[in-house]
Amino acid sequence: MLSAAQLRATQHRRRSPYSDKQYYQEYILQRIEGYKNSIGRDELLRLGDEAASELQAAAEGQFVLTEVLMLESVDRLIMKRLSLRPYSHWRRQFIKLRVAQRTPTHWGLEPTSPLARLLPRLEAGDVSLVVGSGAEPAAYLLAAHDAAVTFLAGELGCVERVESRIAAEALGGAFEGYVAQAGPCLPEFLDICTGFHLVVLDPGALAGLRATCRLEFVTDLQQRSRPGSVHVILPTCPRLAPEALLAFYDGWTIEEETRRRRRSGGGRRPDGLVLSKPACPADTA
């Protein structure tokens, strides 16, 4: 993720965006895996038998069937069953869809929201964590911008809904959803060694916790975040305003854009907080 200073300097992005071919390959893979998960074991075995028969007939027994050949043959049969479009036809529709998906309003977010203002700084593959059911639209928007999204919520229904929407919108290439309650720290299975570039937090996920437990959870998020990373605290919980968590961010910087909008907002609805973690000194990077 680029810093505000790097963006102003129009620095070249460190990671190249995905190509349309890569998107197409992910689309095909997701549809094939989705079909396999939707059918029973008996039907899957029949597909395997059909694939083996076709391979043997085509090669007239000239080679030994391998697991790789079988998998490729089964995938081709599924593509035929699903009538998946060739790349040229798919690309025409995909470009229009992805443009819409990358628009905050497509997910019910305001174009002036704090997350929307961060989009120019995102890079393909940025590791992001979205916490709380109130931050659901953020998960979709980040996935549409090719971020690696981990979504964490305490309700099974919410996680299942997000997973279904992600799959329906063909955004699941780097998405993972988990059911887990917030606090006092992230679950052990979310121990991502590379660290988060971006964390989006719905304060509602912390509303039922004691103050000490909230502090422990936010501290854990901070420790797992990379130097120069950004935390966005959304105004999604009437019981717990973003400013109530500001005391936990000692040493972090409030983005100037957020400061200006709060001073000039008058009676307008608050946007939330955008905070950046200090970067490592040059001699310790």
Asked which of 5-9, 149-153, 271-275, 277-281 is least confident by mean pLDDT, the reply is 5-9
Q: Which tokens go with 155?
A: 């309700």
> pLDDT band at 23, cuts 50/70/90?
confident
pLDDT at position 95 is 83
Domains of the chain: 21-87 (no CATH), 110-284 (3.40.50.150)
CA 199 to CA 147: how far, in whole Å? Answer: 12
Tell me the average pLDDT across 178-197. Answer: 81
pLDDT at position 230 is 95
Asked which of 15-19, 103-107, 153-157 is least confident by mean pLDDT, the reply is 15-19
Coil, helix or strand for 201?
strand
- pLDDT cut 90: percent of the chain above it: 41
pLDDT (tens digit per residue) in 237-251: 998 999 999 999 999
pLDDT (tens digit per residue) in 158-172: 999 999 888 888 787
pTM for the whole thing?
0.77
CA 160 to CA 155: how far, in whole Å? Answer: 9
At residue 42, does pLDDT exceed 80?
A: yes
At residue 285, does pLDDT exceed 50?
A: no
**Which of 16-20, 69-73, 163-167, 192-196 reaches the highest mean pLDDT?**
163-167
What is the average pLDDT score of the chain?
A: 84
Asked which of 24-33, 56-65, 145-154, 224-233 is least confident by mean pLDDT, the reply is 56-65
With CA atoms as reference, report the closest residue to 135 among 205, 182, 183, 86.
205
pLDDT (tens digit per residue) in 73-101: 888 899 889 888 888 888 888 888 888 99
pLDDT at position 54 is 79
CA 97 to CA 118: how far, in whole Å? Answer: 21
Tell me the average pLDDT across 195-211. Answer: 93
Tell me the average pLDDT across 181-204. Answer: 84
At residue 61, does pLDDT exceed 60?
A: no
Query: How many other C-beta atoms can be found within 10 angstroms of the C-beta atom of residue 40?
Result: 8
Instruction: Describe the strand order of the beta sheet including 225-233 as a list of residue ranges.
Output: 175-179, 148-153, 127-131, 196-201, 225-233, 273-276, 253-254
Non-local (6+) Cβ contacts of 237 within 8 A are: 134, 202, 203, 204, 207
